[in-house]
Structure 1
């Protein structure tokens, strides 16, 4: 069931910030004006977040959601903690690190980690390593000494890439020649031979990887399997195994074993309970209106899987109970 219709969308996040009219959920005569922090423009978060924000703004009375391009998970959690955004997308494993004050949050923990709340999982975030065929890289072990793009600074991809290398007993600062690029930039660097491999946590299929595969560069999808996968899962229990089917990318003639997290939607305990309920309801029940490839992966049945230490927002919890997917 939809909850009404609005026709006006909030202006962009930067414009709002410039005039100082960003308001918290539940405040302001003009309704609930919120900003969703997404990711870099070449990733999945940015276009998908735009569609979800439009879905909310069009179908929930007095709710207007704009989007903001960011460095993704780590940066987004800090933006949420600082009160600069009301809604964010982030990888569940990175959110767990934030809650526990670990990894990227060990030296600079969030001020209020207990205030971060889960609204629901959006789609599986697949850890993908793409290498140029000329590089000779066929396994994680082959990455040592190579030029590896680790993903945008502050992103879940960068966190995962570092975790992967550290799980092999390597130093990410010295055992590879590391680059930190947006997914669009990494695509160009792979195609131009500036890097040998790139790590990405993205939906399958990933547009940036498709672009390399169809742009005249022969690629190899690198497996994360066996002891390499087992060690990473032991170090980081938020990961689970997944297979990228044969033919997902041009030239990929075999299935590829890898690992996955969840891309999840987070807010804080300050978000109005009714607004949180309506956001979650609309996101799952209106998923058919999302044109992005991962729109069909939005499923309330998997909304709370691998939640980790992060509490479920009461408004989201009420929706899941009403939908019969949570006892």
Structure 2
């Protein structure tokens, strides 16, 4: 056997031993491990790995919040995916608010992949309280929680709708909202998260509640996005709930290659139905949420959306 035959045989053996496709590794940074958004991240990771037969490996990282997720763009590579409200990306790119004095060219490279369930406001009142509108909150005891988006937003709405000074705010942790509602310690609580919200499901099933709806005028005052929770989502809910939301989107940067962004986006939408069977919050995600993406979408994701026939704005491309 001559040297050419030996080298050819060695090359064939090496090709046979090599895997058919290389593994794609992605880091997905979401939220605190106790939050529903962390659970969503785990679901997405599992769906990606299952649908790709292990060729997409997603590592979920805990986060202290959306601002941290955006800030880490400065030091991350092309495997970084993170979740945040679109408004924070806009603030980062403009160097405003919490990003003032912390601007970085990397923020301009942020690109969207797909929307995930929105942070949805719930003003939850016990049936016993008899409250059916914001005017009815006067003289009632409300639990807002502390330090969360829901707490800040709830306090803002009380002020906007003229009842802040006539409501007693309970000094109770949000984690104790349902027990406090059951024993009459509070008349209602405010929570923000994906819907159906677990604590609202529990309260509706155990004590009976009314989740307040907002008028179009009130929604305009909040400057948030309108969202409708369909009738029947919670026990005893016979009508749609009209409320507000803060959109949340999964992002990456231009460092990610187009094929990876395409595959992640395609797999997400194709697996969303299966994920909804395990967790109902995915049922609220549809093509309509694409309008919540106010910045640019990654070219790889754009390719999928065009193939799928989803309309995009010029600003998103």
Length-normalised TM-score, structure 1: 0.69
Q: Determine whether 1:250 maps to 2:241.
A: no
Tell me, what secondary structure is at the counterpart of 2:255? coil
- Counterpart of 1:64? 57
- Counterpart of 1:262? 247
Q: Determine whether 1:312 maps to 2:312.
A: no
Structure 2, unaligned runs of 5 or more = 1-21, 313-317
Displacement of 1:96 in angstroms is: 4.3
Distance 2:153 2:242 in 1: 16
Distance 1:245 1:289 in 2: 20
Tell me, what secondary structure is at the counterpart of 2:228? strand
- Counterpart of 2:169? 177
Length-normalised TM-score, structure 2: 0.71
Q: Determine whether 1:239 maps to 2:225.
A: yes
Contact 1:53 1:66 in 2 (8 A): yes
- Aligned-residue Cα RMSD (Å) equals 3.8
Q: Determine whether 1:132 maps to 2:102.
A: no
- Counterpart of 2:30? 37
Moved over 6 A (4+): 169-172
Which stretch has the larger CA shift, 287-296 or 45-54? 287-296
Which has more helix, going by share of residues? 2
Q: Determine whether 1:227 maps to 2:224.
A: no
Q: Determine whether 1:205 maps to 2:196.
A: yes
Question: Deviations 1:96-140 (Å, cap 9, x if unpaired)?
Answer: 45555556x266766554333211112454322112344554333
Task: Tell me the matched-pair count.
Answer: 286
Equivalence map 1:45-64=2 (5 Å): 45-60=37-52, 62-64=55-57
- Counterpart of 2:282? 295
Distance 2:135 2:102 in 1: 32
Question: Deviations 1:261-281 (Å, cap 9, x if unpaired)?
Answer: 433212233333322211111
